Chains A and B, each alone.
Chain A
Amino acid sequence: MNPHPGIAAAFAALLLACPCAARAQDEASAAALQQWVAAVREHKPGKPDAAASTVASMSYAERRQLHPAMETFLHDLHSQTARSRSPAQAQILELVRSVKENPGVGLFLRRAVILHTDAAVYESRLPSPPDDAPAQPVYPPATGPGSRRNPLAPPPLLSNERFLVQSDARVVGTTPATWHWPFARYLVDQLLAPAVVPQDDHAFAVDWYHAVAAFLFAIGNHGDANDHLHYAIKVLPDEARVVFDLGCYDEILGLPLYQALSADPSNRNPMTQMAVGVPSETEADAEAERMFRRALEIEPGYAEARVRLARLLDERGRYDEAAEQVDRALAGTLDRVPSFFARLFGGRAAMGRGRFDDALAHYVAASKIYPEAQSALLGASHAAMMASDVPAALSYVRRLAVDPDRRVDPWWDYGRGPGRAVDELLQKVYALVAR
């Protein structure tokens, strides 16, 4: 049974009133910090090793114990070391000194970020923590310039959110959110805290935010992706990849998967007993368009941002603009998947303009990139049907007779956004903390 927060607070106050108990608590906290620092030092990036197990299995009570020492430790990493007053504080200061000496604050923090990243990434292969945290009220996200976190929200180390779980557009329950992501973001904040941030640390932060977004998209964890990306945009507002990722997130909310979720009144949030809150397709698409346009301002050659922008324009019947964006994207260099999407959206834009032959040409080009893709084949079939070419319309449908398990259609994974390159992106981040 979880203690009531008020009772826990009163108990903590009583403990602090007793000097010996407070001292014992400080020492336990410092000992927990020492264990955490050791885990950071020992962890091998990209491995679900013993160090990752140590942090993955931490209970809420253990996190509470670690919290005071952690706050002191992180504060002292970037400040002049004060004279120690107690054995516990001396122990923390010694940890700070050793980290500054080897491997240095920046690299240590990066490794710490990776430790918690791996604890989350390899969650299913690591021991689970007990679900001993008190229920956390739903905090609205921080708004306004400079306010990254809601002041009412608990410290990142003690975060205890729950997310809805949906399957095939039905709410099927809730799940505790991992605390590793908010805490890792907090550690990245420490990395970016100095007045002059070293270039390596800045590059790490950008790559890390992008890789984690990719991971969350890849596993369909849009609850964490929401928190992650709205935080990222405040930390790194002018990074094209961060802006692009947030655009992908907004776009996902406008896709049928989420729109169907909110359109069904039987889907309710079990925590609030209220309807599932998803922005309307119009709102989500408008926000996504804004993000993709912003990403293109920052980086005009960001081809996938242009392709996704084209889809949003298609969706709202702005076919001429969509076709123009597709043409511009195709004029550049595109990887296989964005190239497929460009053709697909080019096909739809041409259909919207009543140019069935152009549409067919786009869909056929798409089906050359992924020969068994259902989206391209059905698009081609429909374009042929509209052009009154029934034999051709049927011929494309017959190609669906391929075993569905062997069929590959990037459209089915459109909502994964950058998630399709997650392995590559994570490896890139791991390389930045290589020993």
Chain B
Amino acid sequence: MLVALGLLVLLVPSVAGRQKFSSRTLGVRVDVLVTDGRGPVAGLTNRDFELRDNGVVQRVDVVDAADVPVNAVLALDTSGSINGRRRSDLVSAGEALIDGLTPVDRAGLTTFNHAVTPKIPLTSDLRAVRSALQSIEPTGQTSIMDGVYVALTSTLDQSGRFLIVVCTDGSDTTSWLEPSEVLSAAKRANGVIYAVTAADTRRSLALKELADTTGGQAMQVKSSAELRATFERILTEFRSRYVLAYSPEGVPPGGFHRVEISVPRRRVTIKARTGYIGVEASKQP
């Protein structure tokens, strides 16, 4: 039996009764954003999608994403450059995202300067996350990759959909982990990374690659004043995504599985994770 790490349990108990699952065991789940020129495309069903796992067409179920709680993990840069207005705008943006969550959603907070601090593990106590946001004190250097890695690991032993919002204004100066190492972790985890940077593209190449690989998006803001609206837009977009679930058939377990998704007969753009690392049964935790 093949599963991707952390994807063993797809159902979220509190809403399981409302989900549109088949009775099959569904091992892999993919968050998919479908857009056309006017924005997200709604109303698609499993018959509209074609999903290939390592080139083999799979039978997919479309989970009603609106029924699946969101696990939002904020990974925020709190290095010395996030001072003054930037700090207050960042806190405000974090609060806006928290405010957009529903009572069944959960949130977590990881901060990073040179030190990564998993401040609040995923919790439905959103007030605790708000409070932790307000206690941010910018100082020190920047370990972006280390911070993203820790945020990713918070999805490993949890079920549900994971939105990881990484926000940084600077360059990585002190991480131990290399971008390639974090990328390999992202292929094993199950979060969709949205990377918000205040810097130019060259600085955030590693974050862009992480966002692309996980089916998320790299976004740039011209000033910290745009952060709040950007965070709100991310949550709205995330909620408009489809969740495809399937049990891989006809492909060997283990190794990297390339996932290709299309919507035949429609002119749309699709954003989804590019694949996942499958784990053989003998290596399952």
A-to-B contact residues, CB < 8 Å = 167-170, 255-257, 260-261, 263-266, 344, 351, 374-375, 378-379, 381-382, 385-386, 388-391, 393-394, 397-398, 400-401, 404, 407, 409, 411-412
In the A-B complex, list the 10 residue pairs whose CB atoms are closest, starting with the nearest: A260-B171, A375-B176, A404-B115, A388-B283, A169-B171, A390-B285, A257-B173, A168-B81, A397-B153, A412-B114
Let me know if B200 and A374 touch, CB within 8 A.
no
Whether A393 lies near B79 (C-beta < 8 A) is no
Given the known inter-chain contacts A382-B177, A388-B279, A400-B116, please indicate yes or no for A168 contacting B79, CB distance below 8 A.
Answer: yes
14 A–B contacts, CB within 8 A, in A order: A168-B170, A168-B173, A255-B173, A260-B170, A266-B200, A344-B176, A351-B181, A381-B149, A382-B185, A393-B153, A394-B153, A397-B118, A401-B117, A404-B113
Residues of B within 8 A of A397 (CB): 118, 150, 153
Selected contact of B5 from candidates A375, A388, A407, A409, CB within 8 Å: A388
Tally inter-chain residue pairs, CB-CB below 8 A. Answer: 111
User: Which one, B6, B115, B118, B141, contacts A407 given CB within 8 A?
Assistant: B115
A256–B177 touching, CB < 8 Å: no
Q: Nearest Cβ in chain A — how far from B7, in angstroms?
A: 11
B82 to chain A, nearest CB (A): 9
Structural contact, A168 and B279, CB atoms closer than 8 A? no
Min CB–CB distance B257 → chain A (angstroms) = 15
Interface centre among B6, B115, B142, B200 (most CB of A within 10 A): B115
Known: A263-B202, A266-B200, A375-B176. 19 other contacts (CB 8 A): A170-B170, A255-B173, A256-B171, A256-B174, A264-B200, A264-B203, A265-B202, A351-B181, A374-B143, A378-B116, A382-B181, A382-B185, A388-B285, A390-B5, A390-B285, A391-B157, A404-B115, A411-B176, A412-B141
Complex alpha-carbon distance, A412 and B114, angstroms:
7
Residues of B within 8 A of A381 (CB): 149, 153
Interface string of B188-210 (1 = CB under 8 A from A): 10000000000110110000000
Q: Which residues of B contact A391 (CB under 8 A)?
A: 157, 285
A167-B173 Cα distance, complex, nearest whole Å: 11
Residues in chain B within 8 A of chain A (CB atoms) = 5-6, 79-81, 113-118, 141-143, 146, 149-150, 153, 156-157, 170-177, 181, 184-185, 188, 199-200, 202-203, 279, 283-285
Which one of A265, A266, A382 lies within 8 Å of B149 (CB-CB)? A382
CA distance A397 to B185 in the complex (A): 13
A393 to B157 Cα, complex, angstroms: 11
The complex places the Cα of A51 from the Cα of B159 at a distance, in Å, of 69
In Å, the complex CA distance between A416 and B114 comes to: 15
Contact B79 A390 (CB under 8 A): no
A414 smallest CB distance to B (angstroms): 9
The interface residues of chain B lying within 8 Å CB-to-CB of A390 are 5-6, 156-157, 285
Assembled-state Cα–Cα distance A260/B142 (Å)? 11
In the assembled complex, the CB of A143 is this many whole angstroms from the nearest CB of chain B, namely 31
Q: Which residues of A contact B185 (CB under 8 A)?
A: 382, 385
B157: chain A residues within 8 A (beta carbon): 390-391, 394
A379, B203: Cβ atoms under 8 Å?
no
Q: How far is the CB of A242 from chain B (nearest CB, A)?
A: 27
A390–B175 alpha-carbon span in the complex (Å): 21
Given contact pairs A168-B142, A379-B176, A386 touches B184 in the complex (Cβ within 8 A):
yes
Closest to B78 in A: A404
Question: In the complex where A168-B80, A391-B285, A404-B117 touch, is A260 in contact with B149 (Cβ < 8 A)?
Answer: no
B114, B143, B171, B175: the one within 8 Å of A263 (CB): B171
CA distance A167 to B176 in the complex (A): 19
Residues of A within 8 A of B279 (CB): 388
Instruction: Please report the C-alpha to C-alpha distance between residue A351 and residue B79 in the assembled complex, in whole angstroms.
Output: 29
The complex places the Cα of A382 from the Cα of B174 at a distance, in Å, of 17
For A412, list chain B residues within 8 Å (CB): 114, 141, 174
Most buried by A among B113, B150, B200, B284: B150
Task: Judge whether B116 and A168 touch: CB under 8 Å.
Answer: no
Please tell me if the beta carbons of B199 and A264 are within 8 angstroms of each other in the complex. yes
A267 to chain B minimum Cβ distance, whole angstroms, is 10
The residue in chain B whose Cβ has the minimal distance to the Cβ of A267 is: B171
Q: State whether A170 touches B81 (Cβ < 8 A).
A: yes
A110 to chain B, nearest CB (A): 37
Minimum CB–CB distance from A417 to chain B (whole Å) comes to 15
Residue pair A169, B173 in contact (C-beta under 8 Å): yes
Chain B contacts for A168, CB-based, 8 A: 79-81, 141-142, 170-171, 173
Q: Which residues of A contact B113 (CB under 8 A)?
A: 404
Distance of A374 Cα from B177 Cα, bound (Å): 10
Q: Is the pair A389, B285 in contact by a Cβ cutoff of 8 Å? A: yes
The distance in angstroms between the C-alpha atoms of A385 and B157, with both chains bound, is 12
Q: How far is B116's CA from A294's CA once the two chains are assembled, in angstroms?
A: 37
A260 touches B203 (CB 8 A): yes
Nearest B residue to A261 via CB reads: B171
Which residues from chain A contact B175 at a C-beta distance below 8 Å? Answer: 256
A residues in contact with B81, CB < 8 Å: 167-168, 170
CB distance from A269 to the nearest CB of B (A): 17
Q: Given the complex of chains A and B, what is the CA–CA distance between A265 and B116 in angstroms?
A: 27
Which of B157, B177, B200 has the most C-beta atoms of chain A within 10 angstroms of its own C-beta?
A: B177
Q: How far is the CA of A256 from the CA of B202 in the complex (A)?
A: 13
* Chain A: minimal CB distance from B234 (Å): 24
